[in-house]
Structure 1
Amino acid sequence: MSAPAGKQPYHHGDLRRALIDVTLEAIAEDGLGELSLRELARRANVSHAAPAHHFRSRAGLLTAIAAEGYHLLADELERVRGDDVTEQAVAYLRFATAHPAHFAVMRAPELCITRDPELLTARERAGEQLLRPDDRTVALAAWALAHGLANLLLEGNVHPDPGSDVESLARALLRHLA
């Protein structure tokens, strides 16, 4: 059943997912700065009041994105066999460059509801993966290097050499930790 011309449909197949997806697209296009639930509802082709059915506020929506990002990061890190800190750092970098909008929200905790249970669980899950090697100091150093490199790459301040990729660049830098 379609809505009359000029009216937006009330029902949406999966409004929560649609709002997350349009928010990720908006962040990829314009950054985090001027996101509003009204604009995101327009992008999702729903009424301006519809997001309230799933998210009480912009912070609630961004919190859901951050939690999803931490789960995606943990999934990526769980694929690393053993406690190889270089490969964990490469996995972190692979996540950050494949999901830059999630990564941006995860780096902006002031925009999220930091005590949200799902967010706390997701952050803890990713943190456990990042710090699972026996030598936590080396693991933290690798994580810090990967995080910094991801920021430099996403901000356009660093580019891999021609014929190289971000994973090769990360491995080359991480060899200096050994």
Structure 2
Amino acid sequence: MSAALAMLEESDEAALSLRAVARRAGVSANAPYRHYPDKDALLAALATHGFDELRDRLVDAQDAAPAGQELVCLAQSYVRYAVEHPALFRLMFNRSCDPSHPGVKAAGDAAYAVLSPHVVAGIPPELHEAHVTGWWSLVHGLASLVLYGKLPRDDGAIQQVDELVRSTVTAMSRV
């Protein structure tokens, strides 16, 4: 897994093959096939790993957030994860990774579930799904815009990204 993650961050999923991962890991060409039957399985494992890491980051942010700042801290953590792991983040949401794969779906749902209770507090139950989808879209959109250079950001200035996310989430919370 670590060889595949390193290769992914150096280029993208198109450069990944089980043979290339084996070379990078210094193992026989057939060794990865004991863990992953094909490239799709490798991509699913990487995406699952990414969603698990994202979930852990979100839980940590939720636990450390000052009262009333949970949404801001969760959003900042989500965007930070995207900035720190751009190739993995793109893979997690890319068509090349099968979103219906059971591991990917379960890990993605678990990450999504961390955000949900903070978003729906005080919202009528019939609006829960729409509200959570809207908030996730906002945060994911911010992450994507930062990754693709569409929002101003100095290279390496995570504080600037955190402030952008804080001000955006705060403004949208008032709507």
TM-score by length of 1: 0.76
Deviations, residues 107-144 of structure 1 (Å, cap 9, x unaligned): 1244337232x323212211111222224455433321
**Partner Cα separation in structure 2 for residue 32 and residue 152 of structure 1:** 20
**Partner Cα separation in structure 1 for residue 139 and residue 99 of structure 2:** 25
Report the counterpart of residue 157 of structure 1 in structure 2.
150
Change (3 A) 1:26 1:161: closer
Structure 2 residue 104 is the aligned partner of structure 1 residue 119: yes
**Partner Cα separation in structure 1 for residue 59 and residue 111 of structure 2:** 9
Structure 2 residue 85 is the aligned partner of structure 1 residue 90: no
Report the counterpart of residue 170 of structure 1 in structure 2.
165
**Partner Cα separation in structure 1 for residue 56 and residue 111 of structure 2:** 8
Kept in 1: contact 2:44–2:101 (CA 8 A): no
- Larger helix fraction of residues: 2
**Partner Cα separation in structure 2 for residue 105 and residue 51 of structure 1:** 20
TM-score by length of 2: 0.78
**Partner Cα separation in structure 2 for residue 73 and residue 108 of structure 1:** 16
Change (3 A) 1:168 1:138: farther
Secondary structure at the counterpart of residue 135 of structure 2: helix
Which one of the candidate residues 33, 37, 55 is aligned to 1:52?
33
Aligned-residue offset at 1:53: 0.9
Aligned-residue offset at 1:27: 1.7
Aligned residues: 158
**Partner Cα separation in structure 2 for residue 21 and residue 47 of structure 1:** 16
**Partner Cα separation in structure 1 for residue 99 and residue 55 of structure 2:** 20
Secondary structure at the counterpart of residue 114 of structure 1: coil
Kept in 2: contact 1:74–1:125 (CA 8 A): yes
Structure 2 residue 56 is the aligned partner of structure 1 residue 70: no
Aligned-residue offset at 1:96: 1.5
Kept in 1: contact 2:51–2:92 (CA 8 A): yes
Structure 2 residue 135 is the aligned partner of structure 1 residue 142: yes
Secondary structure at the counterpart of residue 117 of structure 2: coil
Which one of the candidate residues 14, 18, 43 is aligned to 1:37?
18
Kept in 2: contact 1:59–1:113 (CA 8 A): no
Change (3 A) 1:85 1:78: same
Secondary structure at the counterpart of residue 56 of structure 1: coil
Deviations, residues 61-86 of structure 1 (Å, cap 9, x unaligned): 11111111111111111121467322
Structure 1 unmatched runs, 5+: 1-19
**Partner Cα separation in structure 1 for residue 51 and residue 22 of structure 2:** 24
